Amino acid sequence: MPEEQPGSSPAERPRRRKRHWLLRIDSWIDSTVWNAGFRLAELWEEITIFFRRFHVKGWRRALFELAGEGMNLGTAGFVLLLALALPAFEETKGDWRNKGDFAVTFLDRYGNEIGHRGIIHEDSVPIDELPDHLIKAVLATEDRRFFDHFGIDFLGLARAMTENARAGGVVQGGSTLSQQLAKNLFLNNERTIERKIKEAFLSLWLEANLSKKEILRLYLDRAYMGGGTFGVAAASQFYFGKDITDVDLAESAMLAGLFKAPARYAPHVNLPAARARANEVLTNLVQGGMMSEGQVIAARRNPASVIDRQEKTAPDFFLDWAFDEVQRIARPFGQHSLIVRTTIDTGLQAAAEEAMETSLRQYGDSYRVKQGALVMIENGGAVRAMVGGRDYGESQFNRATKALRQPGSSFKVYTYAAAMEKGKTPESTIIDAPITWRGWSPQNYGRSYAGRVTLMTALAKSINTVPVRLAKDFLGTEAIADMAKAMGVETPIRTDKTMPLGTSEVTVLDQATAYAVFPAGGVQTRRHGITQILNYNGDILYDFDRDEPAPKRVLSETANADMNRMLVTIPVNGTARRAALDGGIVTGGKTGTTQAYRDAWFVGFTGNYTTAVWFGNDDYTSTNKMTGGSLPAMTFKRLMDYAHQGIELRPIPGIDNPLPRPKATEAVASAAKSEDALPPLVRPRTLSVGATKLLREIGRELREATPLSSGGRVAAL
C-alpha cells in the first residue's frame, strides 16, 4: 500500500493553493521586470541609433558642445536670476505709489512749520508742460539714452567705466534714470551688492509696468533737491520763487545739477558750486548733441541767481520717519491733505546734529568712522531729536530707524532685567570664569577673569561670561528675547547662544525706546513722533493722548529700581565715565562695542531724557578701536549737557542717594588709562557747522554795515 503524501489531507489543500498563487505572482513579477528592462534597452538602442544621425565631428562638434554647455549655464543662470529677483519684487507688493496720495505739512512741538512731505498733485506738472530745455538738461546729465534702453544701459555703463578709468576716479555714474527712481521709491542708499541687484531688477519692473513719460515724471517729482524740497516744482519755487514752467535755461541747468548731490550743490548754501555744476550740465547738453554751443552761451554768461534766504535746516530724517507714521495712522481716515503736529524740539534737534557733526569732525579721521545716528526720547515717549546720518543730502538712508547693527554689550541690560524680574538682585553673586556653551567659549575684553562677583560689578565692568552664564543656567535665551520685545525692541531677535552678548541686530530707535523704560519706572515708553493729525478745516483726526492705549508695566518696581541702581554706576566707575553729565546730574546707561570694532554704542538716560548714540561705517568696515565709552559717550554728554540747562530735573526711579562723582581730573585720568582712551586728535579738513554759520553771519553783517564816507574815513558812530 503506497504511503500517503504529506499535505494531501483536506486541511492541507488551501495552503497548497495559496503557495501556488504566490509562485504565479512571483513568476509574473520576474517576467514583467525582465520584459520592461529588455524593452527599455531596445528603446535606448533606438534612441541612440536615431541621434547618431546628428553626430558631428571636427570643428562642428566643438560648436555643438559649446551650445550645449551654454544651454546648461543659461538654465542655471535663469534659476539664479529668478532667486535674486524675488526679494526685489517683494518691494512692489504694497501700495508703492502711496507717497503721492498724501500732502502733509509738519509742525514742531510748539506749532512752527518745519517741513512738508508727499506730493501735492496740483503742483505736479505734466511732462508735456515742462520746459523742453529742463527735460534735455536732466537727460543729458543723468541718462542720455533714457528713451533707448530697457532700464539698464550697458552701453552707458561701459562709457562711464571708460571715462572713470581715464580720469582715475569716479566722474560718471552708470545708473540709469530708471535705476535711480527704483532706489528713490523702494530702496535706500546703502552701498551693498544686494541693494544694487534689487535696484537692477526693480528698474526692469518699472520699465515693464510704466511708460517712459511716467518714469520721467515720477523721477522729477520724487527726487530730493536740497533745502528740504522734493521734486523740481518745489525746488523751483524754493530757489527761484517761480513756477517750474517759467524757468529759463540757466535755471534748468542749475536744477538738473542738483540730482547728483543736492547738499553739495544747493545754491542757497554754496552758490559758486551750484553755478559750476550748472556749467557742467550745459557742457553735457552740447556733448550729448541736444543743444549747440551757441544755444547755451547766454546761459553760461548769465548764470542763474537764487532768492536770498537764510539757510533753513529741516529735520529731514525725522520727517521721513514721521511721514511713514502718518501714512500708517491716517490711511483709514480717507483724508490725505493733513497738518501734523509732531514731538520734535528744533532746539534739541539742532543740538543733536551739532553734537554728532562735531564728534565726527574732531575724531572721525582718528577713529576711521564716517557715520553716526542718534535718537533722543523725553520721559513719556515723545521723540525730541533724531539724527539718521551725517548728511541727508548725501544719503537719505535713516540709520536711526532702518539700519540694523549689532548692539554689543549694550544688549546685556535685557539679560540683567530678565534676571532681576526672576528674583536676582544687584548684590547676587555669580562666577566670572571660563564657560563653554554648545562648543562656544566667550571671553572677556581683557582675557582675564575675576572669580565670584556681584551682578552690579559684572554689569559695570561689562564682563562677558556673566550674561552668558545667566542665559545658560538661569534664564534661557527665549526669556531674554521676550524681555527685549516687551521693553520696545521691534526688530526680530535671534535666540541663538551668542545673543546675550549682543549679536542680534537692532536699530538705534529700538535701543532708545527700550532704555526709556528705566526712567519711566518700568512701564512701556509709548514712543511716538506725532501728537495730533488735523485736516485743513481744523478737525482733529488723531490725538495721541486720546487714541493710544495707556502704557503697560514691563518691569516690576523692584526690578526696575535694581536695574537703575546698577546702571547709574556705569558713568561713575564703569565703562562710560565720559558720559557723566556736568552739575552732578545722575545718569545711567550702558556702552556697547561689537566684534572687530565695527559698531560703538552708548545708550543712557536721566530722569528727563533717554538718548541712544551709535557710530560706525555703512560698509561695516572696522573703526580704529573705537569703543562705546569713547565717541558715543562723549556725544551723549555734549547733547545731554545742553538739554538739561534750565529745566526741572526729574529723579530716576529707585535712586534716592546718588553715588558721589569723581573729580573731573580723576575722571579724565581714569578714562585715559582705560581701553577707551581717545586717539590723537586729527585736525578737521573743513570748518565746523557752527564756525561756518558764524562766518556767514559776520559776512551778512559786513554787507549790511554803514558804508565808508566819501573821505575814506569811517562814518561817525
Q: Are strands 540-543 and 588-593 parallel, antiparallel or unpaired?
A: unpaired
Whether residue 150 contacts residue 203, with contact meaning beta carbons closer than 8 Å, is answered with no
Exposed (0-12), middle (13-18) or buried (19+): which is 666, by Cβ within 10 Å?
Answer: exposed
Taking the C-alpha atoms of residue 523 and residue 488, their distance in angstroms, rounded to an integer, is 10
Position 306, amino acid: V
Instruction: Return the closest-CA partner of residue 468 out of 487, 489, 440, 491.
Output: 440
State the DSSP string of 579-600. Answer: GPPGGG---EEEEEE-GGG-EE
Does the annotation mark 142 as catalytic?
Answer: yes
Residue from 409, 410, 462, 504 carrying the catalytic annotation: 409
The sign one gets for the Cα dihedral 446, 451, 457, 458 is positive
Helix spans in 211-345 (H): 212-222, 232-240, 249-256, 262-265, 271-287, 293-301, 316-330
Number of Cβ within a 10 Å radius of residue 607: 20
Taking the C-alpha atoms of residue 490 and residue 513, their distance in angstroms, rounded to an integer, is 9
Q: What is the separation of C-alpha 208 from the centre of its chain, rounded to a whole number of angstroms?
A: 28
Does the annotation mark 409 as catalytic?
Answer: yes
Whether residue 606 contacts residue 650, with contact meaning beta carbons closer than 8 Å, is answered with yes
Task: Annotate 526-548 with three-state secondary structure.
Answer: CCECEEEEEECCCCEEEEHHHHC
Exposed (0-12), middle (13-18) or buried (19+): which is 505, by Cβ within 10 Å?
Answer: middle
Taking the C-alpha atoms of residue 156 and residue 150, their distance in angstroms, rounded to an integer, is 12
Whether residue 178 contacts residue 207, with contact meaning beta carbons closer than 8 Å, is answered with yes
Taking the C-alpha atoms of residue 185 and residue 258, their distance in angstroms, rounded to an integer, is 18
User: What's phi and psi for 522, nearest 5 deg?
Assistant: 100, 5
Whether residue 87 contacts residue 198, with contact meaning beta carbons closer than 8 Å, is answered with yes
Residue 323 CB contacts under 8 Å (≥ 6 apart), including other chains: 99, 102, 104, 117, 118
Taking the C-alpha atoms of residue 442 and residue 218, their distance in angstroms, rounded to an integer, is 52
Q: Which three cell numbers stand for residue 79?
A: 534659476
Query: 3-state class of 520 per DSSP?
Result: coil
Instruction: Return the closest-CA partner of residue 130 out of 267, 239, 255.
Output: 255
Which neighbouring-strand residues pair with 387? 374
Enzyme catalytic residues: 142, 409
